[in-house]
Amino acid sequence: MDSKNFEILRDKWPDLATLGGFAEHYTYSDSSSALIKLRMFCENLANELYRIHKLIKPYQPKLFELLDEDAFKAAIPPVVLDKFHIIRLDGNKAAHGQPTTSKMALSCLQEAWDLARWLYISYAKGKLEECETFYLPAKESEKELLTKQQTAAQQKIAEQEQKLEELLEQVNLYRAKAEAIEQPPEQLQLFKASGQSVANILNFNEAETRSRLIDKRLVDAGWNVGHKGKKTEEVGQEVEVLHQASETGKGYADYVLWDDNGKPLAVIEAKKTVVDAVKGRNQAKYYADGLEKQHQQRPVIFYTNGYDIFIWDDAQKYPPRQIDGYYSKDSLKYLVNYQRKEKQLLEHIHINPSITDRDYQQEAIRRCTEKFSKNYRKALIIQATGTGKTRVAISLADLLIRAKWAKRVLFVCDRKELRKQAKQAFCEHLKDASSTIVTNKTHTERQHRIYLATYPTMIKYFNTYDVGFFDLIIADESHRSIYNRYRDIFLYFDCLQVGLTATPVNFIGRNTYRLFGCEDKDPTFHYSLEEAIEAGHLNPYEVFTHTTNFLRQGIKYKDLTDEQKQQLEEDGEDPEEFNYQSNLIDKVISNKDTNRARVP
C-alpha cells in the first residue's frame, strides 16, 4: 500500500510506510481502521527504537508498557513521547469499538507523520526538505465509496492487507533477534539529546503537543475544553490565581476545572518531564491554596507532563499517586462535594451480621477497613472455597456504602454463572442498591450503584468509564491469569480494590500480590482450607481416581469389536487408522460422556 506522506520510510522501514499508507486510505472511509493502523504504526516504531538502541523490553511488551519503560523514556525526547501517546489513546478507542471520527484519524495521521519525519532524519540521515509538506489524503464522495465497494478494489485492499500481515510477521521475527543490553544513563541521555536536536529542526513545540495531549485526555473524561487555550465554563486555562508568592501576588494555573456553582473542583499543573513532577506538585499546591482562599473550597490537585498524570487529594490526607486519566465532572463533584464531607470513620461502622456472621468473615472485612483507614487503597483476601467469599464481598461493600466511602461498586468474576449468582446475592442483601450486569447492551448505563461483569466483558468496555467512576472494585478469583490478562482494568480505575481468591498462598503469583498492594505471600487476610475444616465450617475431602481401558491402554484396531469397526465404517471413518497410544487420548479424540464424568 503506497502512501502520500510515509514513502520516505519505504527503504528502511517498509512496515511503517505500509501502515501509514493504510491509515491514509482509511482516514475518511473508515476512521476506526485508520486509527488502529496508526496504533500499529506506533507499536512497530517503538519496537524499532528498542532495536536501534538495544534496549531491554518490559516483561509484557504492549504499547503502553513499551512507552512507559524507564530506559525508553530516558532515551526519547518528551515531545516525541507525547505524540506516541496521542495516537495510542485514540487508537485504543478504535480498538475497543468506541466511536471515532475522520477528524480524529486525520489529527493522529499528522502526529504519525511527525514521528515518521523524526525517525527519517534521526536514523536514516534524511533531510528536512525531503519531508516538509504534509499531504491530505484524498477525500472520496459517498458515490465514489459506493462504487468502490461494488468493484474489485476491495479485493485488492484485502490482498494488500494479507501482504501487510506477512510483512509484519517478517519484521517482528527480525526485531525479536535483536541484541538488548542495559544501557548506562549517560548513553540514554545522548540518545535523547540527539533525538531532541532533530525535534528542534522539525520545530516540534513541546508545550503545544503537551497541551493537545492534556486536552485530549480531558475531553475523553467528558470535559468541555476550549480550542487552543480558549476558556469554557467547565475548563479554565491560564487562570489567574491570587495569594501567590510573587511580586504581584498573582499566578496563572494551567487548567482549573470548575463546578456548576463556580467553585473549583480541580487544578492541573503541566510540566515538561517526570523529573519536573515534584515542581509541578508544589506549584499546583500553591495554586490550590490560593483557589481555596478565593472560593472557600479546596480543589483536587493534578499534575502532569502530558502522559504521566498524578492526583493528590490532600484534603483527605492521601499521598500523591499516579493514575491513568482525569476524573469526569460527575466523579469530581462526588469526591469534593459529597465524599470529603460525608465520609465516616470505618471503625465506627458495624458489620451487618445478617450478611456475614462468622468470626473469620468479619475479621476479613476489618482487616480491609483497617488498611483503607490508613490510606491504603488495595487489599487481598484469600479464603478457601465454600467459606463465603461472595458474602464477605457484599458485606464489605455494604459497610463502605453506609460509611459514605463508596457510591458505585464493580464486582468482576471469570464466569457468567458466578456473575449470575453474585447478582442474586447482591440483590438479596443490598435491596436498595440498583444493580446491573455489564454487557454490550448495558455498558453505557451510568445510573446504577452495583455493576457486575465478567473479566472478558469488562476488558472490552472499562475505558468507556472515567477513571474515577467506581469507588470500589471487588475482583473474584484474583490469581495469575487475572494479572496476565486483565490487569489493565485495575491499573485504569482509581479506587479501592479488593482481590478475592481461594488459591493457596504459596500458589499465587508475586505480581498478583503486588497488584493488590501486598508483599509476596502476605495477603491482607488468609483463611485456609485446613482452618475451615478444623473449625467445622467445611467437611474433609477424599480423592477418588477413576479411569477407563481407553485412557489406560489407548485405542487399537485389533482390540475393536466387529460392531465397533462396522460403526466406524458407517460414520465414514477408516477403522484401521484407529491406533492411538494412551497419551494421545483427548488430544485427537473427545468423548463427551467421559469428560462430563470428570470432577474439575
DSSP letter for each residue of 107-126: HHHHHHHHHHHHHHHHHS--
Chain-centroid distance of CA 424 in Å reads 29
List, edge to edge, every strand of the sheet that includes 435-437: 435-437, 450-454, 409-413, 472-475, 496-501, 378-383, 525-527
> All 3 cell numbers of residue 122?
534521526
Phi, psi of 187 (to 5 degrees): -70, -40
DSSP-derived letter for residue 167 is: H
**pLDDT in the model for residue 162:** 75
> All 3 cell numbers of residue 476?
473474584
Quick one: angle between helices 389-402 and 359-373, nearest 10? 40
Residues linked to residue 527 through DSSP beta bridges, in sequence order: 383
Q: Which of 37, 51, 24 is nearest to 90 (CA)?
A: 37
pTM: 0.83
**pLDDT in the model for residue 587:** 52
**pLDDT in the model for residue 598:** 47
**pLDDT in the model for residue 156:** 66
Q: Which of 120, 139, 142 is nearest to 131 (CA)?
A: 120
- The Cα 43–Cα 301 span in angstroms is 32
> All 3 cell numbers of residue 81?
513521547
Residues in the chain, overall count? 600
**pLDDT in the model for residue 153:** 57
> All 3 cell numbers of residue 8?
520516505
DSSP-derived letter for residue 454 is: E
CA of 212: how far to CAs of 77, 134, 229, 240, in Å? 16, 19, 10, 21
Residue 449 · residue 400 · CB < 8 Å: no
Amino acid letter for position 33: S
- The Cα 539–Cα 30 span in angstroms is 59
Q: Which of 498, 326, 299 is nearest to 412 (CA)?
A: 498
- The Cα 416–Cα 72 span in angstroms is 40
Angle (CA) 119-26-209 rounded to 5° is: 45
pLDDT average per 10 residues of sequence, the chain (600 residues): 92 95 94 96 96 91 92 94 96 90 96 97 95 88 52 63 76 74 90 94 92 94 93 96 95 97 97 71 95 98 92 96 96 96 96 97 98 97 95 98 97 93 96 95 95 94 96 87 85 97 89 93 96 93 71 70 70 59 55 50
**pLDDT in the model for residue 575:** 58
